[in-house]
Amino acid sequence: MARLPQVLGTDDLPLAELCAARIDGELFVIDEGWAPVDEPELPSTRAAAAALRVPRRLIIERLSAAWVHGALDVPPRTAQFCVPLHDRVAVVSSPRTSVREVVIDSGDVLELGGARCTTPSRTAFDLLRDATLDDSFAELVVSRLLEAHAGSGDALRARLATAHRLPHLALARARFERTRPAGVAVDAARQAVASGPGSGSDSGSDQPSLTR
């Protein structure tokens, strides 16, 4: 008998069976998936859950990647993915999923839980340049990312120093200089993602189509 994946979806078991297992205390809901109650909520678990929404060739990015890496306590209402510019991927049509084409290097992508996700430093770089996010929110999420992932701050600083001719680069540098220690106003991040227009989770279409 084939072993079930660490995060289950309706392709693995019928919805009624998944809901019944949750009621019985055997599964818990994680984003769009269900996982065994004894499965630790690791980055690989969160990545596998996020990837249930889209073809596995897509890359989890921005706020969704921040959630995967532990910088957000809840996933954004609209999951965010990207695809390398020259990849051929079927169009994903969903009101709760956004996909954009980007220029991205292989070194900016991690394999987690059978899914692809931007690295912490690339995730922070993208969030700092996301003009649809409130400054304070973007800075808080980036602060939490950098605190949780040693070395990412140096990589991010080097990327910001050497980047040229990119949208919102001045905004990103200004935000980076204002980043503050994580743990300050953590509830603000949770509330903004769960409810706020300022979270940017429903407005990915305002972002330039090509970024690096």
CB 57 within 8 A of CB 32: no
Q: Are residues 22 and 105 in the same domain?
A: no
Q: What percent of the chain has pLDDT over 70?
A: 80
CB 87 within 8 A of CB 103: no
pLDDT band at 180 (very low <50, low <70, confident <90, very high): low
Q: Are residues 120 and 19 in the same domain?
A: no
pLDDT reported for residue 2: 53
With 60 as the cut, is the pLDDT of residue 185 above it? Answer: no
Is 19 inside any structural domain? yes
Is 44 inside any structural domain? no
- Highest mean pLDDT out of 39-43, 132-136, 147-151: 132-136
Is 120 inside any structural domain? yes
Q: Are residues 148 and 80 in the same domain?
A: yes
Q: Are residues 117 and 142 in the same domain?
A: yes
Is 191 inside any structural domain? yes
Looking at the structure of the chain, the number of domains it has is 2
DSSP states along 103-159: ---GGGEEEETTEEEE-HHHHHHHHHT-TTS-HHHHHHHHHHHHHHSTTHHHHHHHH
With 60 as the cut, is the pLDDT of residue 187 above it? Answer: no
- The larger pLDDT score, comparing residue 164 to residue 194, is at 164
CB 104 within 8 A of CB 90: no
Is 49 inside any structural domain? no
Is 134 inside any structural domain? yes
Between CA 184 and CA 63 the distance in angstroms is 18
CB 137 within 8 A of CB 189: yes
Residue span of the structural domain in which 67 resides: 54-206
Is 186 inside any structural domain? yes
